[in-house]
A and B are shown apart, each in its own frame.
Chain A
């Protein structure tokens, strides 16, 4: 009897299938070890793995004897007896965490497995084996019905159930079941084609050895259905494949060896002892070196595909530094998210800033900001325990929140509180590696969340202060502008009032001037004929003349004041000689001086040209000299002295009289408008009370100052200073 030797292709395919089963099985299982769907999946993968190991032995028995081949064929049936029921159970449980099949059916399934498995080891299913044409043909026993009842029925039932579930399911669940269905259809049709069709129609068992490979398709599809698209992230598969291959091959080898060793209890398989020892030694070395090897490989692959696994402490320090350096909320969130997504290989992330239980701002990297502003995420706060907790998509119960997570592609959410106040929800998308969030990730993110919470709180306060200060600034500006406007308006109003007043005074004074001019003119015309009038009439005419002079002076003074207060008095300052102006004034007043028998003493020191407006200076001098005469006693003295200031470029004019003087208590008011000292003895002196007021105004306008001193009944002294023209430039026309 010749048995074909096992080919290298067969071995390679077997290893590939085995590695696939282990990889898919573990990947799915580790995503959520508590889920029964995942548990059944890995069991299913292991059963198929066992099938993959046993099947080659049935074609190439070890040892190469008919008994051995029959045994291996029985073993294939033994392993296969598990496939149907477990597939059925998996389909029934699919995507739930708990087993959904009722207990009695569960019991029934176990019974079927047990019966089939036990039967397969006895001649009940395959009695014997014959080689009619050199090809092994096992003789079917009476118990074969059990296998028929088990495998095809269970697979059919699974298929039916799957179709029914698919029809009833909606949305994502429907898609998942659809993948599952494709897997089953593809696998079994291929399996049927390769084994039954090829053997029955093409009369060649060539497809038989390919049989065990086909379930890889099914397993792949189921795995994909369970973990969705995340699973097929191609990058991590490549990245992990190298290191995992080692581990998986080792697992596969151990698994195979255990099966072979178990089988040896029944059939003596000759094994080279030294080879066996070597194998074990290799395995041990492999297992012992697996961890560092795996880590090393991971590091290398990570470095190649990503930028290395993140170092918790380093990352936290980095983020803490960012939080310390950044105070603007948006900038802070963006910086942290960018670092987090890059370092932790998270596809996307967002900070949902919460204020008074609602999301007020969203800072995101990769997410759609507007979609995240949803009240369901605000409600996460009602669900957590009060301290920082996290919500992981896979662990959520089916319901509203899970649906929101699904819809927005959120894998993890961490609501953050600072001193019991809700601050923000940190939201993360799935990892780019397709892995789930490990506990170290979650622990890290929780620690970070506490810090981020405080940083966000600070940033919020900062932005509030900034906003407040901006608002304040704006208001101050507004009010200032308002005030300025009001001020300008009021000022314009006041100016208008002043202008109107001046206009009125001006016009009124002019209206008054005309009749005064007429009175004075006609009096003058009568002058020559006056001598013919009786004495008393002459006296009356003189009184009228005096009164009209006074009236004229009053009007002139009023006009001067109106002009000055309206700002229209123009002082034409320029260099001029002082003495001639004084002489002119004395000439004009000489009649009055003689009338009162007053002695005028003059002491003028030589002066350079002075800076003044001659007309205004004359007016001021007339006022001062007029006062010194009017308020002097008959036969009094007037002392006039003029001299240059010893240090400054100014000169001083002083006029002293021996008149009635000004009482002390009234001295403070003498430069005020309409003020009359009313000193005893001056009752009959005509005055307007405007002379000194105007004098001071004129002197000051020309850049000088006026002072006085007085003793009642002894006399007064007035003095003013004016600048000399010799120094610096001087305005020829200063308007003030």
Chain B
């Protein structure tokens, strides 16, 4: 069975490494982009099964990336999960309106919980 491809768009290299380890260990194939632009082009090229998106990023932030993803015919079908430290209610609601499948708050969840949620959401 072909491994599912996850695209991780996250600016912090420390966290990127950590999540990569966790998801690879859980059996995903992981591609990552450290900014929004790169994330968008990778999404088009590789057509991942799911995208893990951070909201707070320098340059193009998560909302802009989300909007562009949902506008593009190729990428709009890809399931997007927000993984962020942002806890402002209105931001989370805004993201949900833009079509994300779920919002995971980094500090509230352990790594194992995050992986479990992602697996549940994407269907392993």
Contacts and interface: CB of A to CB of B under 8 A. Distances in A.
Given A513-B106, A513-B107, A552-B107, A521 B15 contact: yes
B111 A524 contact: yes
A19 B29 CA distance: 143
Interface string A532-557: 00000000000000000000100110
A555 B89 CA distance: 17
A524 B14 CA distance: 14
A514 B112 CA distance: 17
Contacts of A521: 15, 18-19, 22, 111
A518 interface: yes
B107 A522 contact: no
A520 B12 contact: no
A570 B85 contact: no
B87 interface: yes
B107 A555 contact: yes
Contacts of B112: 524
Interface in A481-538: 506, 510, 513-518, 520-522, 524-525
B34 to A, nearest CB: 14
Interface residues of B, number: 18
A525 B18 contact: yes
Contact of A516 (B86, B88, B89, B107): B107
A559 interface: yes
Contact of B22 (A513, A517, A525, A559): A525
B111 A514 contact: no
Nearest to B12: A514
Contact of A559 (B15, B19, B87): B87
B21 interface: yes
B85 A513 contact: yes
Interface string A468-482: 000000000000000
Interface string A196-222: 000000000000000000000000000
Contacts of B14: 514-515, 518
Interface in B52-89: 56, 85-89
A510 B56 contact: yes
A735 B89 CA distance: 12
B110 A510 contact: no
Interface in B5-56: 12, 14-15, 18-19, 21-22, 56
Nearest to B21: A525
B89 A570 contact: yes
Contacts of A559: 87
A148 to B, nearest CB: 131
Given A517-B107, A521-B111, A525-B111, A510 B85 contact: yes
> Which 9 pairs show the lowest CB-CB distances between chains A and B?
A513-B85, A521-B18, A517-B106, A524-B111, A518-B14, A521-B111, A510-B85, A513-B107, A552-B107
10 contacts: A513-B85, A514-B14, A514-B106, A515-B14, A521-B19, A521-B111, A524-B110, A525-B21, A525-B22, A559-B87
Interface of A: 506, 510, 513-518, 520-522, 524-525, 552, 555-556, 559, 568, 570
Given A516-B107, A520-B107, 7 more contacts: A510-B56, A517-B15, A518-B12, A520-B110, A521-B15, A524-B112, A525-B22
Interface of B: 12, 14-15, 18-19, 21-22, 56, 85-89, 106-107, 110-112
